[in-house]
Amino acid sequence: MRHSNATPSRWRCLCSYDGTNYCGWQKQPQGHSVQGCIEQALQKTFTKKTKTIGAGRTDAGVHAVGQVFHFDAAWGHGSDKLLKALRVRLPEDIQPLDLVEVPSSFHALCSARGKSYVYQAVEGYALPMEMRYVHSLKNRMLDISSMRKGADHLVGRHDFSSFAASRGSGEVESPIKELWRLEVIRSGRRIKIKALGGGFLYKMVRSIAGALFDVGIGTLKPDDICDLLENRERTRIVKTAPARGLCLEKVYYRRPKV
């Protein structure tokens, strides 16, 4: 069914995806992306190319339960039917959760005020059905108290250059970010690192997780995190934790209470 004669509306969609089989959120000339799959589903729905704008990019292998994107399209049959039309055209590892019509002033990326991520790991080995989502620490045991002390150094507004990676595309982004909260939570042998902030650099959360894991096993001291932060330069000391453990939890369009 064609809707080209109707006035386009702006739609906001909340979606979840398993990033294992994707090169990341962003559509790329070579690579199977989440955004590419969604735009293909929209093209089938509207019989025309429909561009999406995401709240941010997730890396290859990173998951999301609360990604947000918007698109402009004419549709006169209600949001419920549009959500259903999108669901039936997407693979099982991408699931739109909610879709609403919004004012044209809304922008999934520019209107965002913050994001939360969670990194999950397990001492020993993850169970087979959860290996896609949890980093197995194998024989490494963590000192959670030391990790929390290290995490405290990172909360606040800082230059996070030491915990970022270059995209290699010539993009320039300010390394100054504000981390509102950074928690290290243990439940038995399971560990979660939860990060809430106004914005994140490329591979920043995974780099923070990697550094905190090294604090946990004693390779780094809690105060070394402060020294790395003040150094403002990426070195081999900071390791990037595997993508599978990271998940984008939520995008905030009002600053959350911390």
What is the model's pLDDT at position 185? Answer: 98
So what's the pLDDT on residue 5? 54
**Which residue pairs, CB below 8 angstroms and at least 24 apart, start in 30-34?**
34/58, 34/67, 34/94
Residue carrying the six token digits 């099982």: 92
Torsion of CA 52, 21, 58, 132, to 10 degrees: 140
Q: What is the pLDDT of residues 225-251, one digit of tens each?
A: 999 999 999 999 999 999 999 999 999
| Rounded Cα–Cα distance for residues 202 and 57 (Å) | 9
Neighbours of 16 (CB within 10 A): 16
Q: Which residues of the chain have pLDDT under 50?
A: 1-4
Six-digit token pair at 67? 């990604």
Crossing angle between the packed helical segments 79-87 and 34-46, to the nearest 10 degrees: 120
In the CATH hierarchy, which fold is given to the domain comprising 114-252? Alpha-Beta Plaits (3.30.70)
Kindly report, residue by residue over 67-79, the tens digit of the pLDDT: 999 999 999 899 9
Name the 3-class secondary structure at 225. Answer: helix
Q: Residue 219 is encoded by which pair of tokens?
A: 């390779």
Q: Which residues, 6+ apart, have CB-to-CB distance to 81 below 8 Å?
A: none
Q: Rounded CA gap, 141 and 175, in Å?
A: 32
Q: How far is CA 202 from CA 7, 34, 160, 172, 254, in A?
A: 37, 18, 10, 11, 23
**Residue 229: both structure tokens together:** 């932060």
* Contact criterion met (CB below 8 Å) for 225 and 150: yes
What pLDDT, on the 0 to 100 scale, is given for residue 3? 46
Can you give the pLDDT at residue 168? 65
Q: Which residues are catalytic?
A: 59
pLDDT on residue 169: 63
User: What is the residue extent of each domain of the chain?
Assistant: 9-102, 114-252
- Please give the backbone phi and psi of residue 127, each rounded to the nearest 5 degrees, phi first: -65, 155
What is the third-level CATH fold of 9-102?
A: Alpha-Beta Plaits (3.30.70)
